[in-house]
Chain A
Amino acid sequence: MVEMINITKRFPGILANDRVSFSVKAGEIHALLGENGAGKSTLMSILTGLYRPDEGEIRIQGNPVDLQSPRDAVAHGIGMVHQHFKLVKPFTVAENIILGLKGIKEVYNLKSIDESVAQLSREYGLHIQPDSPIWQLSVGEQQRAEIVKILFRGAEILILDEPTAVLTPQEAKDLYKTLRKMADLGKAIIVISHKLSEVLAHTDAITVLRGGRSVGTVRTKETSEMELTRMMVGRPVMLETVKNPVNRSSKVLELHNLSALGNRGQFALKEINLDIYGGEIVGIAGVAGNGQRELAEVVAGLRAIERGQKKVDGNDLTLASPKQMIQAGVSYVPEDRLGTGLVPNLNAMENYLLKGVQKMPSGFINWKQVAQETAEVIKKYDIKVPNPKNPVKMLSGGNLQKLLLGREISGKPRLIVTMYPMRGLDVGAMETIRSLLLQERDRGAAVLLISEELEELFALSDRLAVLHGGEVMGVVDPHKTTFEDVGLMMAGKRMAAHG
């Protein structure tokens, strides 16, 4: 019913989709599986007309289409239920359904619309009252209202973005029952998810995306959790990384029984105990969203610590500000390179100064010196900066990361926290980052490496900690552990530490 062929989409600095092909048949529930940042949302945004692909072709019912806008997509029978519902709270279900709908007369008969909504709802077993205002509905009901809205607009292809993220288990089960019914009535359903078990239980086919590329499509019946995990996190191909033997010095970072809240007020980190020594790389493995970001932010001083203690080089820095953490020698390469780590509209020089400015003794900036230092870093790490006066948002992903990491290690930090440092980079840039991190380790710095790529973690880490649900499942020696064991820990199994 829908075919997406060799779709490529670039954003400044990121290759979001790289020749991704993907097809869904009528009557099928098809899952799009992948970690955060794997390119699922971009692909679906292309299908719903929000973005236009740089390359590739979309076919619907076998005919090539050009989706220039969401309106075009709707006209081709494509509808999407977003993770955050797009409903007007004080309006009723029926009112929301006709909102923004073309072809509705100025004076319309809400009653007849109510009726057809009720009929749709019966047909698909959605159980929704057209005249209830949205604010009175539960989250599950709101989701059904979204589905009815899309069906009302004649959708044949339904896309649901993480539909069960907000639902209770019972609601989730009911949702899949409804989806199955719709599939049986000839609709094509695409479910974006990263929940393995759910996808295995309820879908017909699964396409796995990783790093913007399609890893493959499998029939749900013919696959297993293990295979899917491997597809998601990468194949166990050990890379040849020349690594000096570990030479641990003193404890640099100590976390004792540390707990912190996530953005929604829940505990995202629970009773974390983790020490990192100078001269070692500690990797953090885990499915995205299990506390990695919070951990990095806590260490960098950007997130408040609820309970527990944080020490750097023996000094208690539990309550330290980001500035104090920087002064304590903690560098941080955040997940969001362009926007947090670097300022898109500032040039390379200014971005290089971003952290150094705190150290300017007089409060005045010596631009000559900054320019010189920046030029040195650019040369040293072979960063391709066509014009140092241009905003850095024009740089490619690899050069951005080299600039960012180059800046972060320029002050010879004690601890480097780095999150997904290789994500989206080409092989050459990856190699540079990799060797830079190892160099820092050999220099004596402590490195906290958060990644979703197991191969990367196995190759670089001296010890590997696995996070699940905000807790450390165990700390292992990657040389004495298998991918499978780590995969099990990522799924929530505790392991005795042997690292």
Chain B
Amino acid sequence: MGNGSFSRWHFEKRETTSNLVLVMVPVLSVVIGLIFTGLFIALTGKDPLEVYLLMFDGAFGSAYGISETIVKSIPLLICALGLSIAFRMQLWNIGAEGQLYMGAFGATWAALTFPDWPAYQLLPAMMVAGFLAGGLWGLLPAIPRAYFKVNETITTLLMNYIAILWVDYLVVGPWKDPKSFNFPISPQFTEGAILPTLGTSRIHMGLVFGVVVALLLYIVLNYTRWGFEIRVSGESPAAARYAGMNYVKNILLVMFISGGLAGLAGMTEVSAITQRLQHGISPGYGYSAIIIAWLARLHPAAIVLVSVIFGGMLVGGYSIQTSGFSSTTVSMLQGAILFFVVGGEIFVNYRLVRGEKGGK
């Protein structure tokens, strides 16, 4: 070639991406996120290592910490599993947060409508109602996406706000607890509407849901026709159509299930944790779940693992405050990790090479 002395850095598309790269990119992103945030912590005159150790200790250092970490990871897990199906089909569902809220709404409706039902009736009813409500909320943006190619990223995102405000409206209005002195919360659920917990801890049956869903998802995606269709549809809609798969139907179904699972997460939160509907039942679980699904490369088992790590991060975040560190450290750490994970994506498909790009 004409000029061999040129040696600029540039990106080159990878022909293939090895599993090592797939694993290392998220891991390195987390590490860089830790270092980056650590720099800021150091700037405030604290020892980043100490902060991280305290966080770890708060989240995993005691039986109570571990139990709370698991509690925190349950909604993250279920939401992230739901998102992973949609992402696999390259449907960018940003709406898990809203779908979670709608699920909480559906479950609360069942809990308030049939307060006298025993648990074995009421809990399944709440699960179904929560799944349906979340699923329909996911289905709504899927319809314009399937038929008119309306970008679901925007619609799902915006619908989050509608769902959150809808729940706000319910708890300040029609569903406000008459005994709450006007504080915007729904009446407390009756005994039958509360998911059983493990011993005295707050670990509840939602954990079982999460693990079962992860298992089911693994089987469905790898061993069933429908799971295969989703993978093909995600990789190449043209090939899916060509192979006689119903692409449109699958979009609708996938978004319904994705939303339904987020809705189930909402159900577990109101049933087991808050035991009533109220403002702010989710401090952004639906958004964190996006990072989790992404970090876990949509693999169900990895999602379980990453959810627990994220749950630990959130629990540890409050925990370090009791040792005098700012709560914002964790927000920053999460943000930094997300930033580097998304930024690091380029290395999955490209590699940085120096100098001339020749033939192979």
Chains A and B share a contact (CB less than 8 Å): yes
Contacts of A66 in B (CB 8 A): 1-3, 6, 356
Q: Determine if B359 and A54 form an interchain contact, defined as CB atoms under 8 angstroms apart.
A: yes
Contacts of A64 in B (CB 8 A): 2-3
Q: Given A55-B359, A340-B238, A354-B239, check contact A390 B16 (CB 8 Å).
A: yes
A439 within 8 A of B: no
- Choose from A12, A52, A59, A364 the contact partner of B225 (Cβ within 8 Å): A364
A388 to B: closest C-beta gap in Å: 14
Q: CB within 8 Å of B: which residues of A?
A: 8, 10, 12, 52-59, 64-66, 68, 300, 302, 321-327, 332, 334, 336, 339-346, 350, 353-355, 357-358, 360, 363-365, 367, 390-391, 393-394
Q: Give 4 closest A-B pairs by Cβ, nearest first.
A: A54-B359, A323-B244, A64-B2, A66-B3
Measured between beta carbons, the chain B residues less than 8 angstroms from A325 are 244
CA distance A319 to B298 in the complex (A): 37
Report B8-24 residues with CB < 8 Å from chain A CB: 8, 10, 15-16
Let me know if A343 and B235 touch, CB within 8 A. Answer: yes
Q: Specify which of A53, A326, A343, A363 is in contact with B236 (CB 8 Å cutoff).
A: A343
- With A and B bound together, what is the CA distance between A391 and B243 in angstroms? 18
Q: Give complex CA distance A412, B2 in Å.
A: 53
A10 to B359, Cβ gap below 8 A?
yes
Give Cα distance in the complex from A488 to B226, angstroms.
50
**B interface vs A, CB < 8 Å?**
1-3, 6, 8, 10, 15-16, 222-226, 228-229, 231-232, 235-236, 238-239, 241-246, 356-360
CB-CB < 8 A to A54: which residues of B? 358-360
Bound-state CA distance A284–B101 (Å) is: 57
The answer to whether A364 touches B6 (Cβ under 8 A) is: no
A340 to B239, CA, bound (A): 4
Of chain A, the residue at the smallest CB distance from B357 is A52
Shortest Cβ distance from A466 into chain B, in angstroms? 26
Q: Is the CB of A57 within 8 A of B244?
A: no
Name the residue among B16, B242, B246, B357 with the largest chain A CB count within 10 angstroms.
Answer: B242
CA distance A325 to B244 in the complex (A): 8
Known pairs A55-B359, A367-B223 / 13 extra A-B pairs, C-beta < 8 Å: A54-B360, A68-B10, A324-B244, A325-B244, A334-B242, A339-B239, A343-B236, A346-B231, A354-B232, A357-B225, A357-B229, A358-B225, A365-B228
Enumerate 20 A-B pairs (CB-CB under 8 Å) in ascending A order: A10-B359, A53-B1, A57-B2, A64-B3, A68-B8, A302-B241, A323-B245, A323-B246, A339-B239, A341-B242, A342-B239, A343-B236, A344-B236, A350-B228, A350-B231, A355-B244, A360-B225, A364-B224, A365-B222, A393-B15
With beta carbons under 8 angstroms apart, the residue of B2, B226, B239, B357 that contacts A363 is: B226
Q: Pick from B8, B243, B246, B359 the residue with the most CB of A within 10 Å.
A: B243
B3, B232, B239, B356: residue with the most chain A Cβ atoms closer than 10 Å = B239
Whether B243 and A358, one on each chain, are in contact in the complex, defined by CB atoms closer than 8 angstroms, is yes
Q: Which residues of B contact A344 (CB under 8 A)?
A: 235-236
From the candidates A59, A336, A393, name the one contacting B238 in the complex (CB within 8 A).
Answer: A336
B358 CB → nearest A CB, Å: 7
Nearest-neighbor residue (CB-CB) of A342 within chain B? B239
- A476–B8 alpha-carbon span in the complex (Å): 58
Q: Which residues of B contact A324 (CB under 8 A)?
A: 244
Residue of A nearest to B12 (CB): A52
B16 touches A394 (CB 8 A): yes
> Considering residues A12, A321, A339, which has the most beta carbons from chain B within 10 angstroms of its beta carbon?
A339
Contacts of A8 on B, CB cut-off 8 Å? 359
Give the complex CA separation of A58 and B2 in angstroms: 7
Contact of B244 among A58, A326, A336, A346 (CB under 8 A): A326
| A321 to B240 CA separation, bound complex (whole angstroms) | 13
Whether A363 pairs with B3 at a CB distance below 8 angstroms is no
Inter-subunit contact B225/A363 (CB<8 Å): yes
Q: Which of B2, B6, B222, B228 contacts A353 (CB 8 A)?
A: B228
* A141, B231: Cα distance in complex, Å: 45
Q: A489: shortest Cβ distance to chain B, in Å?
A: 30
Cβ of A322: which chain B residues have Cβ within 8 Å of it?
Answer: 241-244
Residue numbers in B under 8 Å from A346 (CB-CB): 231-232, 235
User: In whole angstroms, how far apart are the Cα atoms of A459 and B311 in the complex?
Assistant: 67
Docked complex Cα distance between A73 and B131 (Å)? 56
CB neighbours (8 Å) of B360 from chain A are 54
A56 to B224, CA, bound (A): 49
Among A326, A350, A364, the residue within 8 A (CB) of B223 is: A364
Cross-chain contact A343 with B232 (CB below 8 angstroms) = yes
Residues of chain B contacted by A391 (CB below 8 angstroms):
16
Contact among B10, B15, B239, B357 with A394 in the assembled complex (CB-CB below 8 Å): B15
The chain B residue with its CB closest to the CB of A334 is B242
Give min CB distance, B246 to chain A, whole Å.
7
Would you call A365 and B225 a contact (CB within 8 A)? yes
Residue in chain A with minimal CB distance to B226 = A363
A58 CA to B238 CA in the complex, in Å?
37
Give min CB distance, A436 to chain B, whole Å: 20
Complex interface: chain A residues within 8 A of B229 (CB): 357
Specify which chain A residues have a CB less than 8 angstroms from the CB of B246 in the assembled complex.
321, 323
Q: Could you tell me the distance in whole angstroms from the C-beta of B271 to the nearest C-beta in chain A? A: 32
- Residue pair B223, A357 in contact (C-beta under 8 Å): no
Q: Considering residues A54, A326, A343, A363, which has the most beta carbons from chain B within 10 angstroms of its beta carbon? A: A343
- Report the bound CA distance from A357 to B243 in whole Å: 9
**Distance in angstroms between the alpha carbons of A57 and B2 in the assembled complex:** 6
Residue of A nearest to B229 (CB): A357
Task: Please name all residues of chain A whose beta carbon is closer than 8 Å to the beta carbon of B232 when the two chains form the complex.
Answer: 343, 346, 350, 354
Q: Let me know if A321 and B235 touch, CB within 8 A.
A: no
Contact yes or no, A339 B236, CB < 8 A:
yes
Residues of chain B within 8 A (CB-CB) of A390 are 16
CA of A289 to CA of B223, assembled, Å = 41
The interface residues of chain A lying within 8 Å CB-to-CB of B6 are 66, 68
Whether the pair B244, A358 counts as a contact (CB closer than 8 A) is yes
Chain A residues near B223 (CB-CB < 8 A): 364-365, 367
Residues in B whose Cβ lies below 8 Å from that of A357? 225, 228-229, 243
Most chain B C-beta atoms within 10 Å of own C-beta, residue among A55, A57, A354, A363: A354
Known A-B contacts A64-B3, A68-B8, A357-B229; A321 and B15 likewise in contact (beta carbons under 8 Å): no
Please give, as numbers and ranges, the residues of chain B lying within 8 Å of A367 by CB-CB distance. Answer: 223
Determine the residue in chain B with the shortest Cβ distance to A55.
Answer: B359
Q: Which residue of B lies closest to A64 (CB)?
A: B2
Whole-angstrom distance between the Cβ of A212 and the nearest chain B Cβ: 15
Find B235's partner among A10, A336, A341, A345 (CB 8 Å cutoff): A345
CB distance from B351 to the nearest CB of A (A): 15
Neighbour of B2 across the interface among A65, A360, A364, CB < 8 A: A65
A323-B244, A365-B228 given; A339·B2 CB < 8 A: no
**Which residues of chain B come closer than 8 Å to A340, judged between CB atoms?**
236, 238-239, 242
Chain A residues with CB under 8 Å of B242's CB are: 300, 302, 322, 332, 334, 340-341
Q: CA of A360 to CA of B246 in the docked complex: distance in angstroms?
A: 16
Of B225, B231, B241, B245, most A-chain CB atoms within 10 Å? B225
| Residue numbers in B under 8 Å from A68 (CB-CB) | 6, 8, 10
Chain A contacts for B356, CB-based, 8 A: 66
Name A66's closest neighbour in chain B (CB-CB): B3
Chain B residue numbers with a CB within 8 Å of A345 are: 235
A11–B243 Cα gap in the complex (Å)?
25
Complex interface: chain A residues within 8 A of B359 (CB): 8, 10, 54-55
